[in-house]
Amino acid sequence: MIKTQRQSRIIDNVIFAIFGFVGILFFFLIVNAFDLEEYPIVEDWYATDILFTILPVIVIILGMILSVEYRFKGNHGKAWVFFTLAIMIWFVGELTYSYDTEVDPQDTSTLTSDIFYISGYPLFFIFTIFYLKSRSKIISRKMIVGAVILSTAFAIPSLYLTIGIDDELSDFEVLLYGTYPLLATLLLGPSIIAVSLFFRGHVGLLWLLMMMGTFTDIIADTLYLTQEIEGSYGVGNMIDVLYLWSYVFYALGAWSFIRTYRDTVKQNQQV
């Protein structure tokens, strides 16, 4: 019965993921085909930005539901509080992002979105730590070392792009852009450990989806960096599809955990 439920959730998540990914991709293809980025809905706010409002809000709502389900207590309760706070802060970063603003260390307003984006990473990391804390006894040193090596390997391309072209960027820009792959590495490490536990049957589907979301973010950050340096990033860029896909992964992860949690509660009530 439990195995059947798990297989059913995996199938459901695959179906929802396909619809979400294809829908987002199709939307961006339409936007680019008709040059809708030339027609802002309001000043500095475009059709594609609607998705950057809707998807984070969905993830925030799911995170709040889980926080309430656990009554903000225990490792899981605290974990979901920090998860929700992290997504909230990233959401503010999405709302404050400007396509035309150039980074200026003398003008804090040009760094507003970066401040929020960067602030969300430590909170998300705390979420992973609280979630894995209850499974610390089954996490071996070998798993930790392997996760560190793999996560670092994924961050190297972004770091290379940033540091290797410092003649085209100011020292401040090198520091700012180099911060993102380092922070992504911080998140990817615990996610890799959790995925290892998933394949051993110790955690649910949540962590496979969380790692995919984090990995998608790293790819998007690397591609964004290359285009930002070239000055070719703008409204409707296909890189944004990857950023939105990461929110889909986070939403599916939280939703799958809600279903698992409620099924567990029902089973305990029937005993």
Predicted model pTM: 0.89
Q: Bigger pLDDT: 259 or 49?
A: 49
Q: What is the pLDDT of residues 87-105, one digit of tens each?
A: 999 999 999 988 877 777 8
Q: What is the pLDDT of residues 125-135, one digit of tens each?
A: 999 999 888 78
Q: Which of 23-27, 151-155, 164-168, 210-214: highest mean pLDDT?
A: 23-27
Q: What pLDDT is stored for residue 166 in this prediction?
A: 52
Q: What pLDDT is stored for residue 51 in this prediction?
A: 93
Which range among 73-77, 223-227, 233-237 shows the weakest confidence by mean pLDDT? 223-227
Q: Taking all residues of the chain, what is their mean pLDDT, rounded to a whole number?
A: 84
* Segment 230-244 mean pLDDT: 88
Q: What pLDDT is stored for residue 29 in this prediction?
A: 93
* Segment 165-177 mean pLDDT: 72
C-alpha–C-alpha distance, residues 83 and 65, integer Å: 12
Q: What pLDDT is stored for residue 262 in this prediction?
A: 73
In sign, the C-alpha dihedral spanning 182, 220, 81, 74 is negative
Tokens read off for 49:
């930005």
Exposure class string for 69-88: b at 16+ Cβ within 10 A, else e: bbeeeebbbbbbbbbbbbbb
Q: What is the pLDDT of residues 64-84, one digit of tens each?
A: 999 998 888 888 899 999 999
Residue 265: band (very low, low, confident or very high) from pLDDT cuts 50, 70, 90: low
Asked whether residue 269 carries a pLDDT value surpassing 70, the answer given is no
Q: Bigger pLDDT: 174 or 16?
A: 16
Asked whether residue 42 carries a pLDDT value surpassing 80, the answer given is no
The torsion angles phi and psi of 27, rounded to 5 degrees, stand at -60, -45
